[in-house]
Structure 1
Amino acid sequence: MYRQTIDPVFGSLAWSALLALVPIAALFVFLGVFRTKAWVASWGSLAVAALVAVLGYGMPTGQAVLAAGQGAAFGLFPLAWTLVAAIWIHSMTVHSGHFDVLCHSFAAVSKDQRIQAIIIAFCFGSLLEGLAGQGTPVAITTVMLVGGGFRPMRAAAVALVANTVPAAFGPLGLPITTLAKVSDLPMADLGAMAGRQVPIIAVFVPLLVVGIADGRRGVRQTWFPALACGVSYGLTQFVTSNYISVPLADISSALVSACVVTVVVRAQHVRRSPAPAPSVIAHPDTPQASASPLPVTSGVRTEVWRAYAPYLAIVSIFVFSQWKPVADALNSATVTFPWPGLHLLTSGGEPSTLPMFKFNWLAATGTLLLISGLATMVVLHIPPRVAVTALAETLGRLRGPITTISGLLALSFVMNASGQTMVLGTWLAGTGGAFVVISPILGWLGVALTGSDTSSNALFGALQVTAADKAGLPATLLTAANASGGVVGKMISLQNLTIAAAATGMHGAEGDLFRRMFRWSVLLLAGMCLIVFLQTTRVLGWMTVH
């Protein structure tokens, strides 16, 4: 049995908090200074956290190991289970050739490269983030933009900016699922609250996309489609996360906004002149890219609908799973049990809820995705052999990310179980009302260094709720702000910068990309901090989930 204490180091809260910062600092040093692989950083930081827990906080070694085991298990289920199923579906569409059909259908909407930037980088990128995440949207959309005539630096910048607002809910709600687990707050409330913060920023991101693609002229000439895209995306994200299903927030928003842009562009087709040539809008300090336009599909309409079928199947199955009789049937198979051997008491001497493990194998997002994958096999006529090959390739590609996720969740669980997170939260609560602004900054910093909103939520979720409670601030609001603040750190994360540079052949240009994206990231962060602050006042207080 281990009981958490508020001041285990020299009887001082400040010294205890300083020691609790060591595992987080170790993670940042591994990633930012030594530039180790992500899985090495996560497991190395876990070892540091375990040493702090045992030597500094007096936690029995066995309890620390069991807490790490519970975290690693949560990383495998439901997180890795969801990730594997999502990318498996995407891999099958690539094998069948329908992914190319989908890309061509996007390019056929308009020859204006600025509109293509919106549809490919923002709409389609959001769809990929909602399904797969892990840098997949940046890698794919950057290559597509370069193929459409954008120079590498400009293409990378557009893709990075676009891959912001979907990060709070993708892939398939994993960041919110993780946040709910580590903070012990209802997932529905956290998803709804994030859905009342991120959509405000979403309105402006397509405008920023066209601004980066073509400067002020791009905004002046394409502001209406960009604004229509942002507004439709934000509204759909709000409605879906609050009233339908948190895991579907990105997917539904991406599909709706893409449809809206298509309708608006076609309605303006007669009056809209094409965008300038790539040699004009491309960035002058990068090599000339191919000026050939994106290919336009000449296939039959049936193939286009089949290309969209996997995503429509996912939406339909998830919506159907929310119907109360179906939801009750799925949840009836859920098993909740205390993690064997892990016995924790809170600082108040009450049994802790941290050791409880929820195994919702039938209602899990990954299981619903598996069903969607089987439907995809039928609709796209994918033979079982091809599906198995795609699954094997997916597992091979995800070995690193799965190991990283398990390590980060194990790190988070050790810090939570030993009380390190509680001590940090109590210490930060000393900032009082100023913590309202600090809250989204923590999320931003976490994503900037780990590259994942899920990882950031795992690290800081429990800290946010502790600090909010101690400071007398709304816990759901500020805990959700960790996810919301994290989205604007996505564009400067080491992971995404590396992926964007590699996808465009600009090896070693990560520093140039960072300098180019940093000001936009800070600007959007300031906007998010303002939103969260106003939601604690009468101005926007009516938006807060209670």
Structure 2
Amino acid sequence: MIMVISFILALLPIIWLIIALTALKMPGYKACPIALALSFLIAIGLWKMPILDSITAILEGAAMSLWPIIIVIIAAVFTYNVCIHTGYMEIIKKMLAGVTRDKRVLVLIIAWGFGGFMEGMAGFGTAIAIPASMLWALGFDPVLSAIVCLIANSTPTAFGSIGIPTTTLSKVTGLNVASLSVDTVIQIAPIIILTPYILVLLTAKSKKAFKGVGLITLISGLSFVIPEYLVAKYVGPELPVVIGSVSSMFCTILAAKLFERKDISPEFAMDAVATNNISKNKALTAWLPFILIFIFLLGTSNLVKPVNSFLAQFKSSVQIYTGEGGTHYSFAWLSTPGLWIILAGFIGGIAQGAKFTKLCAIFKDTVLQMMKTIVTIMSIIAASKLMGHSGMIASIADMFVKLTGSFYPLFSPFLGSIGSFVTGSGTSASVLFGGLQAETANVLNLNSSWLAAANTAGATAGKMISPQSIAIAVGATALESKENLLLKGVIKYCAIFIILMGIISYFGAQFL
């Protein structure tokens, strides 16, 4: 009975967020601080957590949110704002219209392909912020831009930031990283193929959604998942999403050139008119900020070990949390993606004709523009740290295992989704529940790697409804106080993904 009460009480901050963001239509910058306050009261009142430990847990979460997460979001929106100010976003718009005027295909290229690439390279919100702001700038409805990017960002999370969630899971569980990588791709493969169809359906809002683009949509999904599987199996967890997303972008563009109908229905056609009068220099200048983002993130990633190791030396380690199990939190000053995206924005902006002083003003305005988003993200990450350190998350997990029994594999992805919902991170979900999943598999005589991978699979679904992810999308598309629209727009797809993953996890566990 005590365990049941603890389980319910531990869930209260999560239940509050769902009710506040949907039924009450409360903006995230108001709902999330209340969730933090509720977590604090429960932690010190019912879990008997010392007040000093509670406060330092909150401070640790706030520090983590500022660096590297919030700096990445500010950097992404800053780059977008620079391109809007210089007028070069209009050139990008016309060039993309030269590839295709079909909004459905553009969503596949930008939200699915390019967004997957950004997740694979950088993570930390870039895969939502940059593609969503680009779609909005191209004339897409801001709510639609945010929703399709939230959904598109789900499955790439498993191997985001050069494979960090999966490599972390391997370290937490002690399981072979190659087996985890392959098992993860197998479990999310049907969702990878399904996602492009959902994106097209949402973009079209019509019964004729797939008319003329059905084959292109299939190619977009298959060209993502096949390379992702092969790279995961034969190379490792660092590059599956990077290679898969680049392959998908290339194949989607090629398929559009080969199979796209010339007589696109007006309801699916983008307003921008393609032009052949854009010089190569002007085109290069327009895309320069994003090209530099690609070069900088690739050049400073784990794929270039000498550079990455050199930059990693510049860090400060501080033990913020004072409670048991507290570890030093490191501020990586030069190896964080946000810093390099800001640098790309400044260099690209100067190349596009903006003065340095104006770029500084744009950066300042961007920070002010993002204040509500900053409050939201700081609050939710602080709450997640507090729930983790106090034992609230552990209580949820323990009761969950006891309630499900032999049907646990069916619900294993759901547990992973709770982890990413609370923390906004696939990596944190691995840390929170990865070990539990592996231990439970041993107790039930099931394949540990399969169930640990199910945790990652579920985390990809929970990521799309995380208040942190929604706050990023809101900030990128200027939808302050519209969080409820985004949550309502994606929550049913999150539920579909979790159910499908649960079925795959359950039946796979019976035969492996």
Normalising by structure 1, report the TM-score: 0.73
Sort the Cα spacing of 1:45 and 1:180 in 2 relative to 1 into closer, same or farther, 3 A. farther
Q: Equivalents in 2 of 1:181, 1:48: separation in Å?
A: 30
Q: How many residues align?
A: 489
Look up the match of 2:308.
Answer: 327
Look up the match of 1:284.
Answer: none
Percent identity reads 19
1:404 Cα deviation from its structure 2 partner: 1.2
> 437, 442, 459: which one pairs with 1:468?
437
C-alpha contact (below 8 Å) 1:59/1:418 kept by paired residues: yes
1:420 Cα deviation from its structure 2 partner: 1.1
C-alpha contact (below 8 Å) 1:67/1:417 kept by paired residues: yes
Post-superposition Cα deviations, 1:484-503, rounded to whole Å, max 9, x if no partner, equal 22256589x98799899998
Sort the Cα spacing of 1:189 and 1:86 in 2 relative to 1 into closer, same or farther, 3 A. farther
Q: Equivalents in 2 of 1:367, 1:292: separation in Å?
A: 34
Give yes or no for the alignment of 1:296 onto 2:269.
no
Q: Give the secondary-structure state (helix, strand or coil) at the position aligned to 1:359.
A: strand
C-alpha contact (below 8 Å) 1:334/1:358 kept by paired residues: yes
Look up the match of 2:444.
Answer: none
Q: Equivalents in 2 of 1:394, 1:314: separation in Å?
A: 18
Sort the Cα spacing of 1:486 and 1:400 in 2 relative to 1 into closer, same or farther, 3 A. same
Give yes or no for the alignment of 1:219 onto 2:210.
yes
Letter in 1 for 2:440: A
Q: Equivalents in 1 of 2:145, 2:67: separation in Å?
A: 34
Look up the match of 1:91.
Answer: 81
Give yes or no for the alignment of 1:258 onto 2:238.
no
356-365 or 330-339, which moves further after superposition?
A: 330-339
Look up the match of 2:71.
Answer: 81
1:315 Cα deviation from its structure 2 partner: 2.1
Q: How is 1:130-529 mapped onto 2 (pairs within 5 angstroms)?
A: 132=126, 137-138=131-132, 141=135, 144=138, 160-161=147-148, 163-167=150-154, 173=160, 185=172, 197-198=187-188, 200-211=190-201, 213=204, 218-219=209-210, 221-235=212-226, 256-268=247-259, 272-278=261-267, 293-297=271-275, 298-321=277-300, 322=302, 323-339=304-320, 342-344=322-324, 352=325, 354-377=326-349, 379-430=351-402, 431-442=404-415, 455=424, 463-465=432-434, 467-472=436-441, 473-474=448-449, 476-486=452-462, 489=465, 510=485, 514=488, 522-529=495-502
Letter in 2 for 1:468: Q
Look up the match of 1:56.
Answer: 46
Q: Equivalents in 1 of 2:170, 2:319: separation in Å?
A: 17
Q: Equivalents in 2 of 1:332, 1:471: separation in Å?
A: 38
Normalising by structure 2, report the TM-score: 0.77
Extract unaligned runs of 5+ from structure 1.
Answer: 1-9, 147-151, 282-290, 345-351, 542-546
C-alpha contact (below 8 Å) 2:102/2:264 kept by paired residues: yes
C-alpha contact (below 8 Å) 2:33/2:379 kept by paired residues: yes
> 24, 31, 34: which one pairs with 1:34?
24
Q: Equivalents in 1 of 2:56, 2:270: separation in Å?
A: 57
C-alpha contact (below 8 Å) 1:440/1:482 kept by paired residues: yes
Q: Equivalents in 2 of 1:307, 1:138: separation in Å?
A: 18
Extract unaligned runs of 5+ from structure 2.
Answer: 442-447
Letter in 2 for 1:81: I
Q: Equivalents in 2 of 1:534, 1:80: separation in Å?
A: 39
Look up the match of 1:6.
Answer: none
Letter in 1 for 2:264: A
Q: Equivalents in 1 of 2:147, 2:346: separation in Å?
A: 32
Q: Equivalents in 2 of 1:402, 1:245: separation in Å?
A: 31
Q: How is 1:526-537 mapped onto 2 (pairs within 5 angstroms)?
A: 526-533=499-506, 536=509
Sort the Cα spacing of 1:436 and 1:307 in 2 relative to 1 into closer, same or farther, 3 A. farther
Sort the Cα spacing of 1:113 and 1:406 in 2 relative to 1 into closer, same or farther, 3 A. closer
C-alpha contact (below 8 Å) 1:343/1:355 kept by paired residues: no
Q: Equivalents in 2 of 1:293, 1:518: separation in Å?
A: 30
1:210 Cα deviation from its structure 2 partner: 3.9
Look up the match of 1:106.
Answer: 96
Q: Equivalents in 1 of 2:308, 2:9: separation in Å?
A: 44
1:109 Cα deviation from its structure 2 partner: 1.9
Look up the match of 2:445.
Answer: none
C-alpha contact (below 8 Å) 1:237/1:252 kept by paired residues: yes
1:116 Cα deviation from its structure 2 partner: 4.2
Please tell me the root mean square deviation across aligned C-alpha atoms, in Å. 4.5
464-473 or 64-73, which moves further after superposition?
A: 464-473
Q: Equivalents in 1 of 2:10, 2:166: separation in Å?
A: 20
1:224 Cα deviation from its structure 2 partner: 2.3
Q: Equivalents in 2 of 1:377, 1:121: separation in Å?
A: 23
457-466 or 391-400, which moves further after superposition?
A: 457-466
Sort the Cα spacing of 1:91 and 1:45 in 2 relative to 1 into closer, same or farther, 3 A. same
1:236 Cα deviation from its structure 2 partner: 5.8
C-alpha contact (below 8 Å) 1:461/1:479 kept by paired residues: yes
Sort the Cα spacing of 1:381 and 1:127 in 2 relative to 1 into closer, same or farther, 3 A. farther
Q: Equivalents in 1 of 2:186, 2:343: separation in Å?
A: 30
Q: Give the secondary-structure state (helix, strand or coil) at the position aligned to 2:22.
A: helix
C-alpha contact (below 8 Å) 1:46/1:410 kept by paired residues: yes
1:222 Cα deviation from its structure 2 partner: 2.3
1:172 Cα deviation from its structure 2 partner: 11
Q: Give the secondary-structure state (helix, strand or coil) at the position aligned to 2:333.
A: coil
Look up the match of 1:65.
Answer: 55
Sort the Cα spacing of 1:277 and 1:462 in 2 relative to 1 into closer, same or farther, 3 A. same
Letter in 1 for 2:283: V
